[in-house]
């Protein structure tokens, strides 16, 4: 077996590649769902019930008292399972996609490539990219969430990596990027480059592309424009456009020309049609219509079918009691014929400004 290099080559596996586990944090901060918190634990129970049939779930709870309460809820929902493991760690919120670490594989460049899963070539080591988390530059209470990535890395026995530029620890959330596992990454200009995002002052497009190359093993970055209305992350890509295969991209569209999402999603579609992958090849683009606007207390919420989560043997899909739910579920069934497509009602859940993908973080099986 080759000896490890001092400069291992990273690769972020695609979400559909085998997982060792999914990380979740149990909801406890009622302020994220003001007036709608009561149904949220039961949404989580349904998600855990479906995930644990296919892979291990690493569930983060506040303390022993919280664990006892959670166990009672999961027991009632038929969701207690040997595939469930508890971690008593403090968190501020539940969005582990953004606050947790991002797992990648690292292998010796003499015997692996960015497009070949490390497990197929020999031993690789798990790395945990622990970016700086600043709660999307929106909320003051994030001290516990900022430490979550390090705790996940230690438990997973992963090598913790703190991406930096000129001694500055980089701010980046997992929901702002999506990869095809072959060297291409999707992100948005609104999230990383616009003046409103307040993540990495003075960062340029080239700065981000260097970070993606060095820490994710990315050869090609596809820059989309803007995200959807109501997204308080300033344009996370996992609400609008997702890789569903190395050469296929699913993207949201808004047919209603008077809707504020119509123009930005049409612009993203144009960019995708012109884009090529790491080898210069065009993608197959699958269009999916948005659900009707979801509004609560006068505020437009970021309801989107793109915020699905791909796990071992299953895809968790947000639905909103909307006619387009059926189109979304049928589309995902065609794209993932070997996986069960599980609809999760998210009409209440989206009041927290996130859905299935935002709340999950996969740990690849390398």
Task: Identify the active-site residue in 101, 112, 191, 358.
Answer: 358
Cα separations in angstroms, 309 against 8, 84, 332, 343: 29, 18, 11, 11
Cβ within 8 Å of residue 166, ≥6 positions away: none
- Rounded CA-CA distance 362/344 in Å is 18
| Residues 251 and 265: beta-carbon distance below 8 Å | yes
Assess contact for 221 and 212: CB atoms under 8 A: yes
Rounded-to-integer distance, Cα 206 and Cα 145, Å: 28
CA dist 361 and 366 (Å) reads 15
User: Residue 166's Cα: distance from chain center in Å?
Assistant: 27
Q: Is the dihedral of CA 125, 365, 153, 176 positive or negative?
A: positive
Known catalytic membership, residue 358: yes
Strands 309-311 and 314-319, by their bridges, are antiparallel
Handedness of CA 211, 216, 222, 228 (dihedral sign): negative
Written as one string, the DSSP assignment of 193-207 is: TSTT--SSTT--HHH
| Catalytic residue annotation | 358
């Amino acid at each position: 077996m080759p000896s490890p290099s001092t400069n291992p080559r990273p690769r972020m596996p695609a979400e559909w590649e085998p997982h060792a586990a999914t990380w979740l944090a149990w909801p406890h901060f009622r302020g994220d769902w003001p007036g709608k918190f009561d149904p949220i634990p039961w949404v989580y129970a349904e998600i855990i019930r479906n995930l644990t049939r296919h892979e291990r779930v690493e569930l983060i709870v506040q303390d022993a008292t919280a664990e006892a309460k959670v166990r009672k809820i999961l027991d009632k929902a038929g969701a207690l399972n040997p595939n469930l493991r508890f971690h008593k760690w403090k968190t501020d919120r539940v969005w582990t996609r953004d606050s947790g670490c991002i797992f990648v594989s690292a292998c010796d460049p003499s015997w692996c490539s960015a497009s070949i899963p490390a497990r197929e070539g020999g031993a690789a080591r798990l790395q945990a990219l622990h970016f700086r988390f600043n709660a999307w530059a929106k909320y003051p209470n994030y001290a516990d969430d900022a430490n979550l990535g390090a705790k996940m890395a230690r438990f997973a026995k992963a090598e913790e990596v703190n991406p930096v530029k000129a001694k500055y620890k980089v701010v980046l959330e997992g929901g702002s990027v999506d990869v095809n596992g072959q060297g291409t990454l999707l992100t948005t200009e609104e999230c990383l480059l616009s003046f409103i995002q307040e993540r990495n002052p003075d960062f340029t497009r080239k700065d981000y592309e260097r970070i993606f190359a060095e820490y994710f093993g990315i050869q090609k970055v596809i820059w989309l424009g803007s995200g959807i209305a109501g997204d308080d992350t300033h344009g996370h890509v996992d609400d609008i456009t997702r890789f569903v295969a190395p050469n296929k991209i699913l993207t949201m569209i808004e047919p209603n020309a008077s809707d504020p999402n119509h123009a930005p999603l049409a612009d993203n579609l144009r960019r995708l049609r012109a884009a090529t992958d790491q080898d210069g090849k065009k993608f197959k683009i699958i269009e999916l219509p948005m659900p009707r606007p979801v509004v609560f207390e006068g505020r437009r919420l970021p309801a989107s079918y793109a915020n699905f989560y791909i796990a071992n043997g299953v895809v968790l899909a947000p639905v909103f009691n909307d006619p387009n739910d059926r189109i979304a579920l049928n589309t995902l069934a065609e794209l993932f014929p070997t996986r069960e497509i599980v609809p999760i009602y998210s009409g209440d859940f989206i009041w927290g400004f996130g859905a299935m993908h935002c709340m999950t973080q996969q740990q690849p099986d390398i």
